[in-house]
Amino acid sequence: MASDANHMYIGRFHLELCIPICNQHCRIPLWSLHRSYHRNRLREVSFTPTDNYEERYSWGIDYQTTGGGNVGLNPKIDNMIPAYRASKYPLILVSDSGIYMREDALMDMVNAMRDDVALVTQMPFCADRPGFGANLEQVYFGTGHARIYLAGNCLRFICSTGMSSLMRKCALEDAGGMENFSDYLAEDYFFGVAGWKIAISGLPAMQNTASPHPNTFHERICRWIKLRIAMLPHTIILEPLQDCFLSSVLGCCAVLILFPSSPIYVFYYLVSHLTYWIFCDYTLIHLVQNGPLPFSFAQFLFIWLYRETLSFPTWCRALLNPNIKWRKGNFRLCWGGRIAPPARSPRKLNNR
């Protein structure tokens, strides 16, 4: 049972994929690696800036392009456009440069690509790295973010993350091509709202950036909150309710109204609420980690309290400033998720 050479051979479990490797620096060539999977045997592909790609991957290079395009404001779309236009196979893999992929990760994503599925994503998580900033990212992506990501996909909400995703090229072409999403900063979300089903891979996307800093983490979370508010305005109300401390305050108010003569019940509720929430989050991060954590429970508890304490101030900060600084560009978010150049301040206009 087989189709043409560009598709899956069911009887022999054979699949051929064309993977464009993109880089935003115009002087570095962008390679498309043609990988062949046969009987579940995978070839390892890893990259370093000093690699001689042409010699090392002579078995798989189909073509090379240089630089990016200029189709809109989104720099990631501009970077991917040349490789996307040159791709000739039905599946497109988008993987950020800071993502570590296991050898079997791509095969796992392909296995999740059913006939009615157009987008397969990996749940964001973090590789084990030293430092408080790295542990902060790992706790967040293993607790709060994992909780919403898994629950949303279970309830068929669109909550895709584009840092590591596999998608059907035909679905993108039906929506006008990748360049049609160039005016959106959260292009990964709008990839997933075109009517097809989405699925989650069984393996997480392991973020592996060097020397993460808490300030960088907060800037990133603030940017994501701004995106969610612009795309789905009702999250202005719903977003803070998923945080432990704000929901505990609302719960304490409810207990005080129900039992006005017994204020001690408020204390009982608060202790039980925090204990249950911490227990669930610690269990969840253990399941996502699928192994021993790189920090103790005491360290986890400190980091968890630190993140939960700053979650509401981060939300307030995102609500007050719609401007976004991402990579080397500055953008202003508009309703619906579109982006525009940042508004100029009156002082700068008067100086002209």
Candidates 331, 329, 351; CA nearest to 343 is 331
Give the helix ranges, DSSP H, for 182-335.
Answer: 187-191, 214-231, 235-241, 244-258, 264-289, 297-320
Q: Rounded CA gap, 42 and 110, in Å?
A: 13
Query: Token match 């990016």: residue?
Result: 68
Structure tokens at 268: 């009982």
Using a 10 angstrom Cβ sphere, with 0-12 exposed, 13-18 middle and 19 or more buried, the burial of residue 147 is middle
What are the beta bridge partners of residue 246? Answer: none
Secondary structure letter of residue 311 according to DSSP: H
Query: Chain-centre distance of CA 25, in angstroms?
Result: 22
| Beta carbons of 200 and 166 less than 8 angstroms apart | no
Query: Token match 């989650």: residue?
Result: 200
Q: Rounded CA gap, 142 and 293, in Å?
A: 11
Active site residues: 188
